Structure 1
Amino acid sequence: MTRLFSVVLVVLTLFAAADVQAQPQTPSGRAVLTGVVTDAETGDPLQDVNVFIAESMTGTATDANGRYRIERVPLGAHRLYVSSIGYESAARNLNLREARVYNVDFALQVTVLEEEGVTVEAERDEKWQERYAKFQRLFIGETPNAKQTEIQNPEVLRFDGGVGSLEAYSVEPLVIINRALGYRVEYFLEEFVATPGRTRYNGEPLFSELEGSVDEREQWAEARRRAFYGSFHHLMLAMLANNIEQHGFKLYMRPSSGGNFGSDSGPLGGGSLISGGQRYPTTVDDIMKDGEVATERVLDFNGVAEVIYLGEKETEAYTTWLNEYASSDAIRRNAPKFQTSQFWLERGPATIDYKGDIVDPYGVTVSGFFAFERVADQVPKEYRPQ
């Protein structure tokens, strides 16, 4: 991500004094996840099944008896994801409130894919190449980090769609090397649909760190910090600490209105860019209430929350993207502004745990700059700036 340098020097100084890990109350202890993964029809245990916490660096594989065990899991909201080639993937949304062992079993259904066979690059036709280029742009992103991010196994992708639309699915997990942030990502893509003005994709990433030189690790540390600051996760942590201005955010409310713009990007997917109605300043206390327990808060509001991040201006690529799909002149940009995003609740109040994670990962929808940054700008959920 490109940053406004003169502003970053000021804002990052504030961040150094602010605690981005502040929370309503931090629970003590860790949880353990255990279970068995079996074939739903035969009941036989399944070996070497991927079991991991979505959007994290924490995962394992089942043993010969189909058993798995994940230790030292932070309490709070997690999405436990299970995937094996030849079976339908499964997931369970968990909210771990006690430091104990949780047993979560899975019975996977056999799936039948119409396998076209793997083709070498020379055999792929021009239409496939065009679709793949579009998929890369919409899925990986168009930020500077995207230029250093590569899908290692594009041959597992299959494409479909009519005029102006694109659908994609993967017969195996996508292996993505992000040399900008220093991550290897296994992305378990479940859905990708792009239509004019709207993109929706759904899937779960598992992160691991790349090996690199001392200089590379220093560059990655700085790039990860830049990717984190101004993100939706950063906003949630700042809201939990009730010091959003110290973190460079300004918060407003708008009445919801029409429009056909945005980008669905998994759990935090965008629908429409909100363009109508007068915005007015609001506070964290106005839209975030106490939860059922001391370690949780609840987002509860009507309309659309709009956030401006003063630590970074919108990029030229974002301005181009915005103007291409904008549904009205009020949305279009003549010059970059500070990053502006929107988020709203489509399923009613959404519970947020002390880590800034949403208990229902599909409970909040985003648009604007939050939706523009895609896979190439994502860091693991447990990441915090040093």
Structure 2
Amino acid sequence: MQNPLAISGTVRATDVEGTLPSAHVFLSNTTFGKITDRQGKFQIKVDRPGTYELIVRFTGYKTFSRTLVIESDGIEGLEISLKPQNRDLGSFTIVAKNRSEWRKNLKLFKDVFLGTSSNAESTKILNEEVMNFYNDRENGKLIAFADEPLMIRNKALGYDIEYYLETFELFYTESYSRYLGYPLFKEISLSKPSSRVVKRRREAYLGSIEHFFLSIFEGKLLEEGFIVRTARDTIGGGLLVASDTVDISMTKVQSNITTKSMSFEDYLFITYTGAYETEEYERYKAMLMINDQVKRTGGRNRQRSWIKMVDQNKPILFESSGYVINPLDFYQYGFWGFEKMADRVPLNYRLNSEN
């Protein structure tokens, strides 16, 4: 096993002298994180080289984010300065927490953010009271934010998650949502996870979008169970899917060995042959009246998803871990659109490490 690689540095603030003790420093979407000591210093150790997103949070200050490429020597001596945060409420109307409208918005938020899968049924936000909601009636959208991290307990996958929510918007008319945040995963139990949790983690990872992009990076799409076809919109709605599979040799290596990019026209329609679509997903499709215009071949379908780029000039950038650097630059539909935070495992999850 490779020796751990260290990331170290000091956290300060622009409006006060000295350093910031007790700041939260972590690598987003992983289990790697620390709290700064009395001198504002931190050291995080990772188990392998790669590209990570370093996040620093301290109450009352803007989130600090920086992409780090960790090579064989690690990174030392980072100097990080946090800026004060001033939230501009603009013309939005905040929803009072003692009103039924707040409870209604909270349920809607949880359905969109945590999801409605079987894993979501065992996932709770432990500090729901920190949630705030704005109704932007002019633009027909709900905006959610929290000044404190959401403390999430996912019993199905055995993780406690600190989630720092940066953006959440739900557009009522389009039935479309977008959100961005930074999760830090922690094991609920210090002991070895149960066989049931190990099985659920494996199921959550296999066929996921991280699994897909990792398979592209390693050139193992078919070996890992993914079939990719092109697709386009039809005049009557739904997708027209090509019969021939796509060669994903269109990816090209970026400026460092850990990053690749991918661009395409219309849609990519991805079938994961290793698992079937769930009953919860069938109910989700019926509720949203989703029709992908693809006929069944008998029984349940294999997991099917499709993606579309927001801007052809902004390719999808992804790392050797399967992590997508710019997730807001492409749309996810189908099974991937159904999977939410309750179905996520950390980027440093290893498929065979718990067997």
- Which TM-score band applies after superposition, normalised by the shorter structure? 0.7 to 0.9
Q: How does 1:261-300 map to 2 (within 5 A)?
A: 275-300=238-263
TM-score, normalised on structure 1?
0.77
8 A Cα contact 2:168 2:179, kept in partner: yes
Q: Could you say if the C-alpha distance between residues 73 and 34 of structure 1 is closer, same or farther in structure 2, counting changes exceeding 3 Å?
A: farther
Q: CA–CA distance in 2 between the matches of 1:154 and 1:224?
A: 25
Specify the alignment match of 1:370 in structure 2.
Answer: 336
After superposition, the C-alpha distances for 1:263-300 in whole angstroms (9 at most, x for unaligned) are xxxxxxxxxxx944543433444332344455543324
Q: CA–CA distance in 1 between the matches of 2:323 and 2:343?
A: 18
Q: CA–CA distance in 1 between the matches of 2:19 and 2:55?
A: 17
In structure 2, runs of 5+ residues without a counterpart are 90-96
Specify the alignment match of 1:170 in structure 2.
Answer: 146
Larger displacement relative to structure 2 (316-325 or 330-339): 330-339
1:211 to 158, 183, 189: 189
Q: How does 1:1-386 map to 2 (within 5 A)?
A: 31-72=5-46, 74-112=48-86, 124-161=98-135, 165-196=141-172, 197-211=175-189, 217-255=194-232, 275-326=238-289, 330=293, 336-345=300-309, 346=311, 348-360=314-326, 362-386=328-352
The 4+ residue runs of structure 1 with deviation greater than 6 A are 256-259, 331-335
Q: CA–CA distance in 1 between the matches of 2:41 and 2:231?
A: 49
Displacement, 1:325? 3.2
In structure 1, runs of 5+ residues without a counterpart are 1-27, 116-122, 260-273
Q: CA–CA distance in 2 between the matches of 1:384 and 1:330?
A: 35
Structure 2 counterpart of 1:282, one-letter code:
T
Structure with a larger share of its residues in strand = 2
8 A Cα contact 1:113 1:171, kept in partner: no
8 A Cα contact 1:300 1:349, kept in partner: yes
8 A Cα contact 1:227 1:378, kept in partner: yes
8 A Cα contact 1:322 1:332, kept in partner: no
Displacement, 1:236? 1.8
Structure 1 counterpart of 2:180, one-letter code:
N
8 A Cα contact 2:169 2:179, kept in partner: yes
The alignment's C-alpha RMSD in Å is 3.1
Q: Could you say if the C-alpha distance between residues 338 and 72 of structure 1 is closer, same or farther in structure 2, counting changes exceeding 3 Å?
A: closer
TM-score, normalised on structure 2?
0.83
8 A Cα contact 1:316 1:336, kept in partner: no
8 A Cα contact 2:21 2:40, kept in partner: yes
8 A Cα contact 1:297 1:351, kept in partner: yes
What SS is found at the alignment partner of 1:105? strand
8 A Cα contact 1:33 1:71, kept in partner: yes
Displacement, 1:253? 1.5
After superposition, the C-alpha distances for 1:129-158 in whole angstroms (9 at most, x for unaligned) are 111111111111100010000111001111
What SS is found at the alignment partner of 1:150? strand
